[in-house]
Structure 1
Amino acid sequence: MDIIVVGINHNNSPIEVREKVSFSKTDLDIAYNRLKEYDEIVESVIISTCNRSEIVSYVTKVDDGIKGLKAFYSGFFDIPMESMEDYFFIEESDKAVKHVYKLAVGLDSLILGEDQIIGQVRSSHMYALERGATGKVLNTLFRECITTAKKIKRETLISQNSLSISSIAVKFIENRFEDLRNKKVLVIGVGEMSRIAIENLLYKGVSEIYVTNRTVGHAIDLSNRYKEIKVVEFKKRYDLIGEVDIVISSTSAPHYVLKKERMEKYHNKERELCIVDIALPRDVDPEINNMEKIHVYELDELKKVALDNMEIRMEAAKNAMEIIIEEAVKFQNWYNCLPVFPVIDNLKKTTKEILDEEIDSLMYRLDGATDKDKALIKIVMNSLVKKIIKKPIHNLKMAGEDKQGELYAKVTNELFSMKEYSCKGKGESYGK
């Protein structure tokens, strides 16, 4: 059994590919139920963000697991395997573990060290946990990688001047217009990314922001906080296209919220319009970019601004990677020891049973011994047994770390005539 990661992300695929395999909230419940049908997939966590669609899995066999997850992607999204094959990102064993750690701290993000990813990783794990899709192995992995990510952010400069996708989007717009103070902006959607964009726009001096959302109540909440914000009904969003200079769109809609045929009707051809689409799947019909005086920018086009802003954090990233390597090795040692933990528990239990039986027999024969003497004898015998099994337990753990746990577990069970227990059984907790 081993840990693998299979998916598609911003490192190896364009946005038009990534959006086809993006999991909506509705998709997730169906996806987890579907994954449970694969015998080779024991545990899974789906991580779906604007830059990636990846599945971390604990599988019976690596090759079968990779094949199963590829088939799952193809079947779930109804995409021919041959059109996806070149875009799959695959990691296994130690590299898969390091990838999850790097992911949580933002080392594999479009924006190095971004703050949002740790929350997305935590939410992805909790969602999988609530649906019974994870177990001892992935629960431990995700808890430890999130703890490590917090440690890295606390001890390094990886998040200094950290920018989110939304912040980069606003900086991108600022680079284009130079001065945003006299610009009118329409923001579509009021999720976290939109709120961050709005905060940045206000900081840059934008004084006129129109906000629209399918659920008008959330937009009204924002307008109550900021006098610069005006709420527009979602169905009237096109009415503002001829008046604004900038549109930032970030919704979770499964389809385009700005379509070319309607834009042609409302767009003022005498006015330049800059549209930044930071949604996945995309909110804006790519054909709109072909319209006169309209410029549409998508996630992949924000990379240059992201690269310009990561220089400060490059050195911190090296320090972060050193911490990740150390913590990933600790997890891998724990994981490799899973076969021996039940044997260690059973060895302790067996020796304790023998010890208790012998102590009872000895106490029965020591009629003249005082209570103090008996207590001392128990302490000495308990200490003696612990010292006798201390070295075998240490050697079992070392064998586990050397990936010989299955062999040593079997031999130990035979030597001590103990019943074999599955490595899924109760064992030592992480870090012991």
Structure 2
Amino acid sequence: MGVRAFVPRSLKTSKPQTNLLHLVSRTKHAFGPTSRSRAHTPKWVPPKERIKWWNITPGDKVRMITGKDEFKKKDRIEVAEVDREKNWLYLKDGPQHKIAVANPMHEPDIPRFNLSPMPVHYSNVQLYIGDFEFPPLEGETEPRILPVYATRVQRTTPTYIKGLGRYVFTRYAAATSPALPPKYDEDGDRVRIEIPWPESKPRERADPGPHDTTAEEALKITWVPPAPTLNPGLHKPDEPTPENKYLETAGADPSQPMEHFVARELSSYWSRASRTKRWQQREPYRLVRLERAIRKEVKQSEAYADGRTYKEIKLEATWKFDRAEEERWKRKRVLRLMRTPKGKKIARKMRRHMLKKLKKMDKLNQIVLKPAKNQYIPPGMNVIDEVPYASAQSEQVLRKSRGKGSGTGKGKMRN
């Protein structure tokens, strides 16, 4: 199964980046079938133009640098969701578009429009770093506290942490607006400004309802396992197994606790463990048949004296045995299919086709030809002098055509 099978239909999410599935190439039909309606169809972004490592995650705060002035003046707008396949962000207090609501009965309680968040491109926002202190302006004495945004972001090499189930890396502000004065450490190296990741909010759990089981009820002990004497490894060889013993006494003693030897009944027939167990049971029989096929091939080689080595004989015998096993399993599957309703339908269809072929062959065998000029009659074909026609009308038409042709020909000859 390819990687495309695991790609969800929509990559719009409110979670941090956990994989790189947004880089998988998908056709343009993933956005819906082509139609002549005037509905907005988002532009398909090629995988090479998609952002591989996102420095903005849901929960971050940004500001818009393009768009309407009312949104450009807003500071610290929180990111609600991101769409990594289209390089889009959805802001909580960002631009919205109106969606008309159908109200055929003209009810006053139903609003005319619903507001839906409008996507903003990744390049049209700047990431919020924090509030920093700046020197006062001319004529002022108090310092200014201004929000600072990153105009260019750098990051470390991403590392996948299996325990967290996502990629982890550190992001730094390479350039800011307004510009911050550079800072240096004791060695004279410039100190980069680290941008902290947003804190993950705990999941809000709803209060238990009337149909929910409380924690106190779930922790109560309502069943006690049977005594150790029922353990499968502690019974005598001449006694029946505890499982059979339970099945024999289950109807007679209703007060006996529930059976705990139900692994075989509840386990899936097609699970990996069940299939492995059946394969282990079949394998000894397969090896015995394979050895028998190799001995038979050795005897044939000695009888014909073909001069093959034992290794060549073994390889050829194994190849023949595998082909025979494959054919045997195919026949088994066909027989199993023919017992199903679908197989019975296929058998009826094959029977109809066979009857049609038989009827066609009967018609060919019963066909009768009339000898004519420049005609080859196959051996065994029935030949008669006159062809019986279905009606008198057809005979009359044929007679007229013969008389007309013969008369015209004679007239030409006489002339």
Q: Which has the higher helix share?
A: 1
Higher-Rg member (1/2): 2
Q: Please tell me the TM-score bracket, short chain as reference.
A: under 0.3
Which structure is richer in relative contact order (CA contacts within 8 A, separation 6 or more)?
A: 1
If the length of structure 1 is used for normalisation, what is the TM-score? Answer: 0.25
